[in-house]
Amino acid sequence: MTTVFGIDIQKGNIRSQSVAPRFCLVRVEDGKVISEEKGVSIPKLFRLLRAERPDILAVDSVQEIAPSDKELFSFLSAMPAETKLVQVTGDGIKMESLPAVAARYNLKFDKTNPAEEAKASALVASFGGGYEVVAFEGVTTVTISRGRSLGRGGWSQNRYVRKVHGGVKTRAREIEAKLAEAGLSYTVESRRAFGGESRTIISVRAPRAEVPVAGMKSGDIQVHVIPKRKDKISYLPLTKKTSYVIVGLDPGTTVGLSILDLNGNLLHTASVRAQSPAEVIAEISRIGKPVVVATDKAEMPAGVEKIRRAFAAVPWTPKKDILIKEKYAAAEGYEFADDHQRDSLAAAVLAFRSFQPKFENLKKRLPAGTDIDFVRAGIIRGKTLDKILSVPVIQDEEVPEAEVEVFADEKDLEIARLEGEVAKLRKLIRGLSEDLEAKDKAVKKLQRRLSLERNERTADVLLSEEITSRDLELAQTKKALRKEERRNKTLRTRIDRMKNYVALQAGDGCLAIKVMELLSRDAVKSVDEEMGVNDGDILYVLKIDGWGKSVIRDLSDAKIKAVIFPKLTYDRAREQHLIEEFRKINLPALSGVNLSPRVKGKIGVVNEAAFTRALSEWDTAEEVFLKERRQEEFSGMVEEYQVQRRREVNVLGIDPTTLPYNQPAVEVPQKPKVKPAPVKEAPKPKPKPIQQKITVPEKPKKVVQKEEPKTEDIFSAVLQAYRKERKKEMEKTENG
């Protein structure tokens, strides 16, 4: 049997010092009004509470009995330990009016009559509504001390002091015996005095209601039982009741979510980008249990259907897709931030309006004290009113459904299993949290003691060479670990890019390319560290600023397949003779004008057929280049040999016409040389005669045409002569 006192202020004001407040008091047992009483003062209220010890004292607002936290602490301390103070209109933050709360239980009353308000508060609390006001922790302090001054008494002073202090000690031992018999954990702190103890403080690790000791004052001894105050007053739901809601969803990359209660009030709206169904389900579960899941599409999307099945909720869809102007009309009067919230809110509001006529008819048919939300949820699920009223409302657990859909999706089954585990874990947490606060203090005391002991031993520990070396080794290990972690992160990034590169290689008709920002050794090293530069790779070089021959040799050593330049970069490379350097090492350098490479980040693709044609054109041009280069080398060697031989002829004074390579292929008859007539001049010293062989023409000889020597013979003769000269020069160098 549950007894509830409901009170409401009749006249006066708790803040007034001249007129003491008077209350109307209504007694309710098991949901039925037993009696009413008017003009109850606060002292009389406390006398009734101590005499009858009801389970609940219900008020519509604690401001009517205590305007401040200090006075509320005092009021709760004076109440019996087993009586709960319940505020029926809210938890101190989210407050509602008493008529709105009473309407949930189909209660009607006269708002101008204090007795009616007291009765409504008592009935709501008896039905499980409201929030319990909790101001004390699970620790109670019992103080035993002297009840009067030691300066009075008819006996001699010392005998009187011994009697009082001995009585304090005796009463403290009696209380300790009661606590030990009840199996409670406690600590004792005594102040010793002449003949006994002047004060004993017992800290019991239990709520005030579980401590079998009452406060009293008798003669020379007084006992005070005071629960420990919390830092802040809290409000806990009197019962854990399922909150039924209507959910509107707008699926997509950005999920729009709107939640209404069964009265059409907006409880929550949000739009979250890239949120998984499991996260949406968890967000909805945090607010309440959906009985309807609605969407603005005529055909429910698969993502919304999956969330609906997770809650076994009733689906709601419009006959046709909701137009934008209809969405704005439905969401009028509600706040929303974007189009996703607007769409989800419109779906939820229209779903609520479709059930609203049924909700209005229920109020006339329900008895007082019925949880209207519970009945509404049953009506939405298609149950009859008689069947709903025949099932008792389960406050701590959900009402079992008659028909539950089978979770065909494995993910939905996993979600349902995890939700069951979460419920079990929450129950376990509630059980463990009761011991947590008491243990926190013990831990703090042990931490202070441990800190003192550590301070005493720190000096000795720091002097130990072994500890110092271990600290050094640990620091080095941590440094190496951080280095390896960075290296591991770099390797993971490289592996991901290499995976993307391999995936691109597998594409139909495309070849993967690796992008290099600049033609430099540092850029090659960077690409090698990130993705690797391997045999057969194709590089796409964006810029050639500051190129050198060393980077070309590095690319040749890496045996890459080809290098591709953008059109403008390729033109600059031709102007800077970079393409010739690539031809010298036979490394294909191609223009991207006909290849149309597509680049994303550090990798890209190029058309395989176009690349093959460009590579074939390069090979053809390379053959022509090599042939011209061999001819230039041969001509250079011949010219070098001829120049060398001319130098030797000039030094030795040999007639060049006698050399084999200067003889003409056809002999032409020469005309006789005739001396010119001497001119008389001043006498000069006669030079030595120069012997000159003059060929006297005889009969004209026939022109004999010699055979032209072959190129191979000339090349062989030139090489032999060049080798002989080099051999002579080397011998001179060795002898000299």
670-681 pLDDT tens trace:
444 444 444 444
Q: Whose CA is closest to 104, among 375, 298, 428, 289?
A: 375
R_g over Cα of the chain: 53
pLDDT for the residue numbered 433: 83
Most confident of 583-597, 652-666, 707-721: 583-597
Task: Compute the CA torsion angle 579, 581, 583, 585 (nearest 10 deg).
Answer: -150
Q: Is the pLDDT of residue 573 over 90?
A: no
Q: How far apart are CA 91 and CA 238, in angstroms?
A: 11
Question: For residues 197 and 169, is the Cβ–Cβ distance under 8 A?
Answer: yes
Token couple for 29: 């047992």
Mean pLDDT of the chain: 78
519-572 pLDDT tens trace:
888 888 888 877 778 888 888 888 888 788 888 888 888 888 899 999 888 888
Q: How confident is the model at residue 391 (pLDDT cuts 50, 70, 90)?
A: low
pTM for this predicted structure: 0.44
Q: Whose CA is closest to 269, among 199, 345, 360?
A: 345
Q: How confident is the model at residue 725 (pLDDT cuts 50, 70, 90)?
A: confident
pLDDT for the residue numbered 258: 92
516 — phi, psi (to 5°)? -125, 125
Question: For residues 494 and 526, is the Cβ–Cβ distance under 8 A?
Answer: no
Domains of the chain, start order: 3-129 (3.30.420), 139-231 (3.30.70), 244-405 (3.30.420.140), 495-614 (no CATH)
Q: Which tops the pLDDT comparison, 680 or 54?
A: 54
243-269 pLDDT tens trace:
889 999 988 888 889 999 888 888 889
Residues with Cβ < 8 Å from 48, sequence gap 6 or more? 5, 25, 40
Q: How far apart are CA 61 and CA 7, in angstroms?
A: 10
C-alpha 139: how far from chain center: 40
Task: Compute the CA torsion angle 212, 217, 218, 222 (nearest 10 deg).
Answer: 80
Q: Is the pLDDT of residue 357 over 50?
A: yes
Angle between helices 465-505 and 521-530 (to 10 degrees): 90
